[in-house]
Amino acid sequence: MPVILVTNDDGIEAPGIKVLAEVASDFGEVWVVAPVEEMSAASHSLTMRRNIRVRKVGSRAYAVEGSPVDSVLIALFELLPKWPDLILSGINAGYNLAEDVFYSGTVSAAREGALYGIPAIALSMERKEEMHWDTAEKVARDILSEFAGRRDFRLLSVNFPSVPYGVLRGRVWTYLGNRTYERPVRRNGDGTYTIGGKPIFTVKEGSDVWAVLNLYVSVSPLSLDLTDWKYLKNASSSNLSQNSAKQI
Ligand code: MN
């Protein structure tokens, strides 16, 4: 039976992780290891300036007083009886589209698994007043039916709108689109600052942003390679400095 690690960044009590763990239990032996508190926008952070407390909260469930990536590391190296066959992260309450994958704890937790060679899937649903967790359950089931037994991917980020399941138009492969914030920082009356602001999405056909706006389930395969190979190719024809080539 495959071992599946389920984590998130909304905290172990969040509705999304319960849905995901429940669906995943039809596909393998599920271990839930997740932050005790909400850690949204924690990105790929590690807790290194204090020790991390872990509490057993079920026969195969642990609450971690740390980040999503802390949770994955502790699961992999201390808690699980064997290396998992799959890592699932989410289901996040809120999209993780475009550049937001840099901030997302949901995607980072999955990416940590992918860095260790474990196929990983992050799932995120649109955040709005009416959260369709029944839709999330069905979408997660569709995704697992398609990918649970496969090992030909490293890291997938799945996003879908919070609408009745029947309204969805199917799954599409997408690339990461673009998003800026109208005003990412706001100064408050008491002299403090608030990070946030209204996202402005650029809608390019075939992107993740385009897909969810058109009621598709967006599946983006993500790379772990951040090198700008296009730039490097051109750059390597000229040396950075007179001595750099010799030193290498
Ligand atoms: Mn979150």
pLDDT tier for residue 245 given thresholds of 50, 70 and 90: low
pLDDT at 244: 57
Q: What is the pLDDT of residues 35-59, one digit of tens each?
A: 999 999 999 999 999 999 999 999 9
Q: Is residue 243 pLDDT above 80, yes or no?
A: no
Phi-psi region of 213 (alpha: psi -120 to 50; beta: other; left: phi over 0): alpha
Please enumerate in sequence order all residues whose Cβ is within 8 A of that of 95, keeping only pairs 6 or more positions apart, or say none: 124, 125, 126, 127, 159, 212
Provide the residue range defining the domain that includes 31: 3-177+204-247
Distance 229 CA to ligand 1 centre (A): 31
Mean pLDDT of the chain: 95
Distance 208 CA to ligand 1 centre (A): 18
pLDDT at 70: 98
Distance 211 CA to ligand 1 centre (A): 20
Q: Is residue 248 pLDDT above 60, yes or no?
A: no
pLDDT tier for residue 239 given thresholds of 50, 70 and 90: low
pLDDT at 215: 98
Using the structure block, give the residue that is written with the tokens 């997740």: 34
Distance 115 CA to ligand 1 centre (A): 21
The alpha carbon dihedral of 27, 33, 36, 40 has a sign of negative
Per-residue tokens: 143: 């995704």
Q: Give CA torsion, residues 127, 133, 136, 137, to 10 deg.
A: 160
Q: What type of residue is 65?
A: E
Mean pLDDT over 230-248 rounds to: 72
pLDDT at 195: 94
Distance 223 CA to ligand 1 centre (A): 21
pLDDT at 237: 73
How far is it, in rounded angstroms, from Cα 103 to Cα 209? 16
The alpha carbon dihedral of 161, 165, 166, 169 has a sign of positive
Helices (H), the chain: 15-24, 68-74, 105-115, 133-147, 208-213, 229-235, 244-247
E strand or H helix at 61, and its extent? strand 61-64
pLDDT at 164: 98
Distance 237 CA to ligand 1 centre (A): 43
Q: What is the pLDDT of residues 220-230, one digit of tens each?
A: 999 999 999 99
For residue 189, is it within any domain? no
60, 1 in Cβ contact below 8 A?
no
Q: What is the pLDDT of residues 65-124, one digit of tens each?
A: 999 999 999 999 999 999 999 999 999 999 999 999 999 999 999 999 999 999 999 999
pLDDT at 123: 98
CATH code assigned at 132: 3.40.1210.10
How far is it, in rounded angstroms, from Cα 240 to Cα 194? 40
Mean pLDDT over 161-173 rounds to: 98
pLDDT at 172: 98
Tell me the DSSP string of 178-245: EEEES-SEEE-TTS-EEE---EEEE--TTBHHHHHHTTPEEEEE--S----HHHHHHHTTS-SSTTHH
For residue 134, is it within any domain? yes
* Bond prior to 91 in cis (omega within 30° of 0): yes
For residue 197, is it within any domain? no
For residue 191, is it within any domain? no
Q: What is the CA radius of gyration of the chain?
A: 19
Rounded (5°) CA angle 112-115-119: 85
For residue 194, is it within any domain? no
For residue 7, is it within any domain? yes
Number of structural domains in the chain: 1
Q: What type of residue is 179?
A: R
Higher-confidence residue: 198 or 29? 29
Mean pLDDT over 121-134 rounds to: 97
pLDDT at 191: 97
Distance 41 CA to ligand 1 centre (A): 7
pLDDT at 246: 55
Q: Give CA torsion, residues 102, 66, 64, 16, to 10 deg.
A: -30
For residue 182, is it within any domain? no
Which segment of 18-27, 117-126, 152-161, 234-243 scores lowest on mean pLDDT? 234-243
For residue 146, is it within any domain? yes
Distance 242 CA to ligand 1 centre (A): 48
pLDDT tier for residue 197 given thresholds of 50, 70 and 90: confident
Distance 34 CA to ligand 1 centre (A): 12
